[in-house]
Amino acid sequence: MNKLLMLPGPTIVPPDVLLAMAKPVIGHRSKEFSEIFEDTVEKLKKVFITENDTFIITGSGTAVMDMALANILKPKDKVLTIITGNFGERFANIVNSYKGEAIKLEYEWGDMANPEDVKEILEKEKDIKAVTVVHNETSTGARNPIKEIGEIVKDYDALYIVDTISSLGGDYVNVDKFNIDICVTGSQKCLAAPPGLAGITVSEKAWEVINKNDDKVGFYLDLKAYKKYFDEKKQNPYTPAVNLIYALNKALDLVLEEGIENRVKRHEKLAKATRAGLEEMGIELFAKEEARSVTVTSAKYPEGVNDKLREIMNKKYNIVLAGGQKHLSGKIFRIGHMGICGEKEILATLSCLELALKELNFEVQGSGVEKAKEIFKE
Ligand SMILES: *Cc1c(COP(=O)(O)O)cnc(C)c1O
């Protein structure tokens, strides 16, 4: 069954990217593979907009969130974890799993962080090893001001770690300009490749910390091993997912062909049309207006409507939407419009939502699809 994935990951994978995988598996120690691998890393660096060392890891996004912290932390090290939702919380859980101390700067879910609060804590607590933040908090549909926070963190010893898993290739990310020491991403969101690969960038400032850290735990995610193999052979220390590398290479070509500016503009338009369409129908958006994501839209279930809406969308119309996470489960739904999503996917989603809402006896106010069409015409 061909489902329309309107999820905030995994997203629709273009046929050319799927086809790229249908090639013979080759040895991961061959010169041929080294060339493809190096080329893929170079393309990823262009999308991250960085000169920093960049690595591709076999694993999902969480693997590189883990890797970012595993390589810098010693037990009892303090990390300022900015939390605006589930993925921000995940960074704190990872810090704790390495016996570090997570200093939580928490905001209401749906809101965004205030850079001034970050500054205040960095001034007060002198020995903070790193600051973690999620750019696009996929669980709430709100984004954080990563450029502004980077402006602050760069003046302290703390490393700046940013999760751009659901924003890179959809929203504006510039690793070097934003002073990001360690930036992580995943293959299955805005990059529109299949799940299974993750990317990580490492600055000079981060290497200084990593190279001094003899107490670290773990083995598979040891950045020093990845650097050694890449510098010497343009390979990974352990067998990578060879065919996924073919796919990511092609997916990155598509991102670079479209151009990052154009891609961000397209995502902004998709978000604007989705929000306007939902509001026109009488659905209230969840994330605070000034914080709203351009890659995922979150909305509140109206009175009398619940996850049954998603069930109808899926079973009757083959359109897959995401629900709420943790305490938002059953309260909100989320529409992912990232990757190669376009106008027709949004229009299809909004028109089927109208039918599904009517089936649940919700009094739909205006035509969401007409409203979205107007936005696309602008
Ligand atoms: C999807 C996502 C993750 C987790 O990625 P997995 O690939 O499921 O491990 C982490 N952070 C953000 C912001 C995400 O959207």
Residue 310 sits in a domain of what CATH number? 3.90.1150.10
Which of 226, 257, 288 is the endpoint of a domain? 257
CA distance 193 to 153: 32
Q: Which pLDDT band holds residue 199 (cuts at 50, 70, 90)?
A: very high
Position 57 in a domain: yes
Return all residues near 204 (Cβ < 8 A) that are at least 6 apart. Answer: 52
Return all residues near 329 (Cβ < 8 A) that are at least 6 apart. Answer: 323
Task: Specify the CATH number for the domain of residue 218.
Answer: 3.40.640.10
Return all residues near 9 (Cβ < 8 A) that are at least 6 apart. Answer: 138, 165, 166, 186, 188, 189, 195, 336, 338
Same domain assignment for residues 129 and 199: yes
Same domain assignment for residues 190 and 266: no
Same domain assignment for residues 107 and 188: yes
Same domain assignment for residues 323 and 214: no
Please tell me the pTM assigned to this model. 0.98
Q: Is the CB of 13 under 6 A from ligand 1?
A: no
Q: Is the CB of 60 under 6 A from ligand 1?
A: yes
The domain containing residue 88 runs over which residues? 16-257
Q: Is the CB of 186 under 6 A from ligand 1?
A: yes
Position 1 in a domain: no
* pLDDT (0 to 100) of residue 2: 87
- Report pLDDT digits (tens) over 125-156: 989 999 999 999 999 999 999 999 999 999 99
Contact call for residues 79 and 128 (beta carbons, < 8 A): yes
Which of 257, 287, 304 is the endpoint of a domain? 257
- Report pLDDT digits (tens) over 307-332: 999 999 999 999 999 999 999 999 99
Phi and psi angles of residue 210, each rounded to the nearest 5 degrees, phi first: -60, -45
Same domain assignment for residues 247 and 278: no
| Cα pseudo-dihedral 364, 367, 372, 373, rounded to 10 | 160
What is the CA(189)–ligand 1 centre distance, in A? 9
Same domain assignment for residues 30 and 84: yes
Cα angle for residues 273, 279, 284 (degrees, 5° grid) = 125
Question: Rg (Cα) of the chain, in Å, rounded?
Answer: 21
Mean pLDDT of the chain: 97
- Report pLDDT digits (tens) over 259-306: 999 999 999 999 999 999 999 999 999 999 999 999 999 999 999 999
Q: Is the CB of 182 under 6 A from ligand 1?
A: no
Is the predicted pLDDT of residue 367 greater than 80, yes or no? yes
- Report pLDDT digits (tens) over 326-352: 999 999 999 999 999 999 999 999 999
Mean pLDDT of all residues in 203-222: 92
What is the CA(224)–ligand 1 centre distance, in A? 24
Same domain assignment for residues 240 and 355: no
* pLDDT (0 to 100) of residue 214: 83
Position 207 in a domain: yes
Position 2 in a domain: no
Which of 220, 241, 257 is the endpoint of a domain? 257
Same domain assignment for residues 312 and 294: yes
Position 56 in a domain: yes
Q: Is the CB of 9 under 6 A from ligand 1?
A: yes
Same domain assignment for residues 166 and 313: no
Atom of ligand 1 nearest to the CA of 65: 10
Is the predicted pLDDT of residue 215 greater than 90, yes or no? no
pLDDT above 70 covers a percentage of the chain that reads 100
Same domain assignment for residues 54 and 133: yes
SS3 94: helix
For 19, the enclosing helix (H) or strand (E) is helix 15-20
CA distance 365 to 279: 9
Sheet holding 332-336, edge to edge: 296-300, 332-336, 322-323
* pLDDT (0 to 100) of residue 140: 98
Nearest CA to ligand 1 atom 3: 61
Total count of residues recorded for the chain: 378
Exposed/middle/buried for 126, CB within 10 Å: 0-12, 13-18, 19+?
exposed
Is the predicted pLDDT of residue 216 greater than 90, yes or no? no
Position 7 in a domain: no
Same domain assignment for residues 74 and 126: yes
CA distance 222 to 218: 7
Same domain assignment for residues 252 and 297: no
Atom of ligand 1 nearest to the CA of 139: 15
Position 133 in a domain: yes
Half-sphere exposure of 361 (CA within 13 A, CB side): 2
Number of domains in the chain: 2
Position 10 in a domain: no
Atom of ligand 1 nearest to the CA of 134: 13
- Site to probe by mutation for ligand 1, drawn from 83, 133, 136, 165 as the one with most ligand atoms within 8 Å of Cβ, is 165
CA distance 75 to 347: 51
CA distance 299 to 286: 5
Closest CA to 346 of 257, 252, 290, 266: 266
